[in-house]
Structure 1
Amino acid sequence: MQNTLKAASSPYLQQHKDNPVHWQQWSDDVLALAKEQDKPILLSVGYSSCHWCHVMAHESFEDPDVATVMNDLFINIKLDREERPDLDKTYQLAHQLLNRQAGGWPLTAVLDPQTLVPFFSGTYFPKEAKFGLPAFTELLQKISEVFNEQRQEIHEQNGRLSQALQVVAGGSEQDGGSSSELVSLTSVLASNIIERADSRHGGMEGAPKFPQPAIWSAALHLAQSEWLEKEQAQGITEAINQSLKGFRQYGLFDHLGGGFFRYCVDERWEIPHFEKMLYDNGQLLSLLSEAGQHYADGDIMQAVDLTIRWLEEQMLSPEGGFYSALDADSEDDQGRSREGAYYCWQLQQLEFLNEDEQRFAKAYYGLNQSANFEGKWHLVTRQSWREVAKDLNVHEKQSPILMESARQQMKMVRDKRLLPFRDDKLLTSWNALTVQGLLQAKKAGSKAVTDELIEGCIEFLRRKVWSEQQLWACFKDGKHYQPAFLDDYGYLAKALLLSLSDQFSQQNWVWLTQIIDILWHEFADQANGGFYFTSEQQETVITRHKSWSDDAMPSSTTQALEALWVVAELTNDTEKLSFVENSLHSAAAQAKQSPLQHPSVIRLLDIWQKGLELWVLRGESFELPSWHEYLATGLNPGRWVFALEKGINDVALEKKFPAKADMAAYCCREHQCYPPIESFEQLKEFVGTHAI
């Protein structure tokens, strides 16, 4: 055998094409060869911007002696978890069951070639024994011995693990309980968030600290819920505000160029792991935009605007979509690859600023305090610019000018540095999350977002990864590949729904109904509720996953269900509406067991208890904006507003919401539909007297 990764599309796999390890891609031919030779499979899962993946590659996979052991004893498969999230989910779950703890990347699993069930799993292993971990080659030799000498024990363990995987991955089919029990989940989640929130620094207690936008997005919505007591609503609001402050003021946020890093290694949000992932930024755009609008907070919206500019400057592809990630590592001024080198500063590097700008920048970005990262400064803002102005006796009107002048000049200098490695594949799911974020930013009044940016990404998805009624998960070098997963369909469905609520178009409406149709026929578990992660047409390895939980990305099952629910309400599809109810009862059973892992489900359950609030406006183009703006402004969980100009004559919509000679607003809420409203005064009166 030889290393075959030169033919791979994945930038991550391309990083390993020159390794002496005989890496293979996951394929039927390679799996069949391993089975025929009865040789265990060493599966290494990672992604291009993963720091410890790079460390393990440098220490072990680039070493000829380590490679010899790997090549002699195993069939070695490299897998990009971003291209194959289905396989990553399976083997991460197997790792958790085998080791009684969460996994991560790099994931190192050894599979039985006959069943593809792992009999050993770990994460990073060093070349030489350290950190309490064995030397990688010694570990591999021991694993090989166990495989050859204890096949019966491995066979029995595989059987138990396979059964456990099918049970856990299949989800619970228990009933979620009575309406009162479902209502109590809102209160339980709020209590859990308040108990676990870091009251000093924001986010959840402990370190490392991840922003977990799904939790805080649900919290923002649930803080308005009628099911919470006053003290709970106040407590959750305080936790949200402290978290938003932690996200945007300290080290998680790139204060010069915009965009958020993946997580921080400390509890104070001081020092991040310096990779930037598109999926994090898409979600945080949505969260901060909603919060910025709701609280009328200009500082939050400034972070939104800078993040959008970063997306446009460093992540936008010629096709209109957005690239996947920026690496944590880059070359420093001495040509060495170091984490954070692109982002960190030394004081002498600020000499291009004038005296006033230097003084303000040092105080504002924490450069007048001790260096906080390997003898250099990673920029944070411990004080607001108003507080800095007061301390330095700078006029309040001059302060933002000084601050912005310093920021722009520092950014221009930093832009000349070598950009960290950029993973230039385009992922459908991550782009759909980003479209959601851009649409929420537009609704919040962002100064940076444009219709061109939003429509360009939607058009990329339509033209490049949607072909012959099928969606594809990945795009690179002018080609789409890998049939799409639930993440792709679910996030895209929600993005199209938000797009239609922003500006209704027949083209996007037809596309959304096609996506919903595929979700219904190929992903939905119509008997028990919910959606499988893979379609009926895709490869199933060990088991077919079905999950309601949020993790690094929001629950695609919940987003798919919400989109299907809204479309079913618009088209009066009673079969799908029954499916929604059945699904939410099933989801509630899982949410009861671990509320903090299911915030998106509990948010949707809260809406379901009150009923979806659906508005369809029919009229001339000049009449619609004022009605639409009145209904769409503000944080209204569960409210969807669609404004259809005359000339849009979809059969399904026309049946339930027929166009009239004059302007009309249709409202369905609290499980009933009302007569059309035909004047703006009646609309305001109706909303005022029917407030949920």
Structure 2
Amino acid sequence: MRNTLSEASSPYLQQHKDNPVHWQQWSDEVLAMAKQLDKPILLSVGYSSCHWCHVMAHESFEDDEIAAVMNDLFINIKLDREERPDLDKTYQLAHQLLNRQAGGWPLTAVLDPKTLVPFFSGTYFPKQPRYGLPAFTELLTNISTVFKQRRDEITEQNGRLSDALKTVASGGAEEKGEVDSLARELAESIIERHDSRYGGMEGAPKFPQPAVWHAALHLTQSKELIAVTAEQLEQVVRRSLDGFSRYGLFDHLAGGFFRYCVDERWEIPHFEKMLYDNGQLLSLLSEAGHYFADGDLMQSVDLTIGWLQEQMLSPEGGYYSALDADSLDAEGRSREGAYYCWDAKEMEFLDEQEQRFAKAYYGLDEAANFEGEWHLVTRKPWREIADVLDIHQKQAPILMESARQQLKMVRDKRELPFRDDKVITSWNALTLQGLLLAKKAGSKAVSEERVNECLNFLHEKVWRDSKLTACFKDGQAYQDGFLDDYGYLAKALLLRLSDRFDQQHWQWLMLLCQSLWEQFADQQQGGFYFTASEQEVVITRHKSWSDDAMPSSSAQALEALWVVAEMTNNTEWLTFVEKSLKQASVEAKQAPLQYPSVIRLLEVWSQGLELWVIRGESFELPSWQEYLSTGLKPGCWVFGVEHGVNDVSLESKFPATDGMAAYCCRERQCFPALNDFEALKRFVEKQV
């Protein structure tokens, strides 16, 4: 055998093409060979910007002696979790069941070649014993011995694990009728567990968890919460968003958010930047910044959009996946954070007043906070810094922006961390959602042209024969799409149509929803499978409502199906929506903090979806649409359809007229058309 990763598309797999390990890609041929040889499969799962993946690769996979042991005892498969999220979900869940604790990356699993069920699973293992972990070669030898000598026990364990995987992956909770409102439980849990000093949730490491805070923001409008709880929740949300955007999670020079922080103060991040985090945080900060009229949050939005344009945009119009945490420092050594951190002397090119302000604002007048250097944070608002330094409030923003731009110019000369140039459909769909919500919030950094470029990329490059592909690289789309590709894109198209309705994107949305219904929906029980009915199934098909680093694709898919069903009078889909939400509520009741997207959707269900379709001339539509869309209105969708868009799917319920017509469906009833703006205002005021 030989290492075959030079043939791979994935940048992560390409990073391992020169390893002495005989790495293989996941394929039917390789799996069949392992089965024929009856040789256990060592599955190593990671991604290109994963720091500990790099550490394990350098320590073990580049070592000839360790590679010899691996090659002798195992069939070695290297997997990019971003290309195959279906397999990653399966083996992460298996890891949790085997070890009674969460997994992570790198994931190291050993599979029975006959069943592909893992009988051992761990994460990072060192070359030499440390951190309470055995040496990797010792571990491998012991695993191989167990596989040869205790096969019956492995087979028995695999049977139990396989059954458990199927139960958990299919959403094992049974429907038990109506469940009390979960909005209050979730709100109280967030209030109780949030970090009152620094924002976010208590403890370390700290992840931003956008799905939790997005739900919390929307629940501030819930009728289920008493006024005191709603006010507390709003304060908690604002404190948390300040924590995300003011401290070390955010790149204050170029924009963009890091993946998480290692401490409770949001001071020092793990320096990788992931597209899926930034897409979600764009959505969250745009909605919150607009609602709270918070210019600092909107500044973070604008800078992040600028970073996406500058460092992450592909020539085809999609966005790349990630920037690594590690890069080369001035001495040519690869180390974490080298691109982002500063020596105070590097500030000396600024003029005296700029330098004085920048050092105070970015914390360089305090002790170095990362390995003898400074990672920039802004613990004090610029207005407070201006007061302390006796700088006029109108001059301070000018100094701040001048210093930022000059520091960025110096940093831009450093070597950029490794960039994973895969373009992932689902992550781009989340980013498109963020761009559209930023546009709605009034961000000047996002243009109609940029939105269209991203839309065109998704339609022209990864939409093939009425199907989505999950990945795009080097001019090629590959890997059949998963639920998150379809669900996130369907939600993005809803946002696009609420911004500007056109027949092409409406037709595309209906095709996506039809695919969700035919290929992913569990039409009998409710909910969605992560893989399409015609895709490869390894052990089981996953079905889950929970959020993790990514928002629940089931919840976003269901929301899209629901809105389209309301617009087109599809009663079969509406019945499915109700059945699915009942199923989801039973799961969510068990651990509300793990299901914020579902609980947000259940809250909309309890209060009733509000749907507006306005038909009329293009010059009149914006004022009507703006009036109906202003404010934070969870569960309210407003679509302005110009004369000339005469899709038959809309005509029966929302027929075009000679003049303006606004149709409203809310609280499970539809009202007669409103034909003038004053009548519209009277209707809305009466409903409040």
TM-score normalised by structure 1 residue count: 0.99
Map of 1:271 onto structure 2 = 268
Residue 395 of structure 2 is aligned to residue 398 of structure 1:
yes
**Any conservation in 2 of the 1:320–1:460 contact (CA below 8 Å)?**
yes
C-alpha deviation, 1:652, in angstroms:
1.1
The residue type equivalent to 2:74 in the other structure is F
C-alpha deviation, 1:284, in angstroms:
0.1
The residue type equivalent to 2:67 in the other structure is A
Map of 1:530 onto structure 2 = 527
C-alpha deviation, 1:239, in angstroms:
1.1
Distance across 2 between alignment mates of 1:152 and 1:510:
55
C-alpha deviation, 1:661, in angstroms:
1.0
Residue 139 of structure 2 is aligned to residue 118 of structure 1:
no
Distance across 2 between alignment mates of 1:616 and 1:237:
30
Distance across 2 between alignment mates of 1:396 and 1:580:
53
Map of 1:592 onto structure 2 = 589
Match of 1:252 among 243, 249, 254: 249
**Any conservation in 2 of the 1:182–1:605 contact (CA below 8 Å)?**
no
Map of 2:558 onto structure 1 = 561
SS in 2 for 1:43: strand
C-alpha deviation, 1:177, in angstroms:
3.4
Distance across 1 between alignment mates of 2:310 and 2:330:
23
C-alpha deviation, 1:668, in angstroms:
0.2
Distance across 1 between alignment mates of 2:654 and 2:175:
35
Match of 1:454 among 448, 451, 455: 451
Residue 666 of structure 2 is aligned to residue 669 of structure 1:
yes
Map of 1:349 onto structure 2 = 346
Provide Cα deviations, 1:644-669, integer angstroms capped at 9, x if missing partner: 00011111101110001110100000
Percent identical: 73
SS in 2 for 1:292: helix
C-alpha deviation, 1:230, in angstroms:
1.8
**Any conservation in 2 of the 1:173–1:528 contact (CA below 8 Å)?**
no
Map of 1:23 onto structure 2 = 23
RMSD: 0.6
Map of 1:207 onto structure 2 = 204
Match of 1:217 among 214, 219, 229: 214
* Number of residue pairs aligned between Structure 1 and Structure 2: 688
What pairs up with 1:84-99 in 2 under 5 angstroms? Answer: 84-99=84-99
**Any conservation in 2 of the 1:282–1:436 contact (CA below 8 Å)?**
yes
Distance across 2 between alignment mates of 1:176 and 1:260:
41
Map of 1:35 onto structure 2 = 35
The residue type equivalent to 1:144 in the other structure is S
Structure 2 unaligned blocks of 5 or more: none
Map of 1:2 onto structure 2 = 2
Map of 1:366 onto structure 2 = 363
What pairs up with 1:324-339 in 2 under 5 angstroms? Answer: 324-339=321-336
SS in 2 for 1:656: coil
SS in 1 for 2:129: coil
Map of 1:140 onto structure 2 = 140
Match of 1:415 among 390, 412, 415: 412
**Any conservation in 2 of the 1:172–1:586 contact (CA below 8 Å)?**
no
Provide Cα deviations, 1:374-408, integer angstroms capped at 9, x if missing partner: 00000000111100000000111111110000000
Provide Cα deviations, 1:573-592, integer angstroms capped at 9, x if missing partner: 00000000000000000000
What pairs up with 1:218-233 in 2 under 5 angstroms? Answer: 218-233=215-230
C-alpha deviation, 1:232, in angstroms:
1.3
The residue type equivalent to 2:300 in the other structure is A
What pairs up with 1:534-683 in 2 under 5 angstroms? Answer: 534-683=531-680
Provide Cα deviations, 1:247-305, integer angstroms capped at 9, x if missing partner: 00100000000000000000000000000000000000000000000000000000000
C-alpha deviation, 1:231, in angstroms:
2.0
**Any conservation in 2 of the 1:172–1:589 contact (CA below 8 Å)?**
no
Distance across 1 between alignment mates of 2:379 and 2:525:
50
Provide Cα deviations, 1:33-84, integer angstroms capped at 9, x if missing partner: 0000000000000000000000000000000000000000000000000000
Map of 1:166 onto structure 2 = 166
Distance across 1 between alignment mates of 2:38 and 2:219:
54
Provide Cα deviations, 1:284-328, integer angstroms capped at 9, x if missing partner: 000000000000000000000000000000000110000000000
Provide Cα deviations, 1:153-184, integer angstroms capped at 9, x if missing partner: 00000000000000000003522532xx342x
C-alpha deviation, 1:633, in angstroms:
1.5
Map of 1:381 onto structure 2 = 378
Map of 2:11 onto structure 1 = 11
Map of 1:102 onto structure 2 = 102
Map of 2:80 onto structure 1 = 80
C-alpha deviation, 1:235, in angstroms:
1.8
Distance across 1 between alignment mates of 2:180 and 2:105:
36
SS in 1 for 2:257: coil
Distance across 2 between alignment mates of 1:182 and 1:361:
52
C-alpha deviation, 1:128, in angstroms:
0.2
Provide Cα deviations, 1:597-620, integer angstroms capped at 9, x if missing partner: 000000000000111100000001
Residue 439 of structure 2 is aligned to residue 442 of structure 1:
yes
Distance across 2 between alignment mates of 1:201 and 1:369:
18
Provide Cα deviations, 1:449-469, integer angstroms capped at 9, x if missing partner: 111111100100000000111
Distance across 1 between alignment mates of 2:19 and 2:631:
54
After the TM superposition, list the runs of 4 or more consecutive aligned residues in structure 1 that deviate by more than 6 angstroms.
Answer: none
Distance across 1 between alignment mates of 2:584 and 2:447:
37
Provide Cα deviations, 1:477-516, integer angstroms capped at 9, x if missing partner: 0000000000000000000010000000100000000000
Provide Cα deviations, 1:126-146, integer angstroms capped at 9, x if missing partner: 000000000000000000000
The residue type equivalent to 1:205 in the other structure is E
Distance across 2 between alignment mates of 1:88 and 1:207:
25
SS in 1 for 2:349: coil
Distance across 2 between alignment mates of 1:653 and 1:382:
51
The residue type equivalent to 2:429 in the other structure is A
Distance across 2 between alignment mates of 1:151 and 1:164:
20
**Any conservation in 2 of the 1:83–1:482 contact (CA below 8 Å)?**
yes
Distance across 2 between alignment mates of 1:415 and 1:112:
48
Distance across 2 between alignment mates of 1:554 and 1:366:
34
The residue type equivalent to 1:18 in the other structure is D
Map of 1:478 onto structure 2 = 475
Provide Cα deviations, 1:406-456, integer angstroms capped at 9, x if missing partner: 000000000010000000000000000000000000010001111111110
Distance across 2 between alignment mates of 1:307 and 1:623:
33
SS in 2 for 1:442: helix
The residue type equivalent to 1:637 in the other structure is P
SS in 2 for 1:660: coil
**Any conservation in 2 of the 1:176–1:587 contact (CA below 8 Å)?**
no
Map of 1:237 onto structure 2 = 234
- Label 1:196 to 1:176 Cα distance change in 2 as closer, same or farther (>3 A): farther
Distance across 2 between alignment mates of 1:467 and 1:118:
34
Residue 68 of structure 2 is aligned to residue 71 of structure 1:
no
Map of 1:510 onto structure 2 = 507
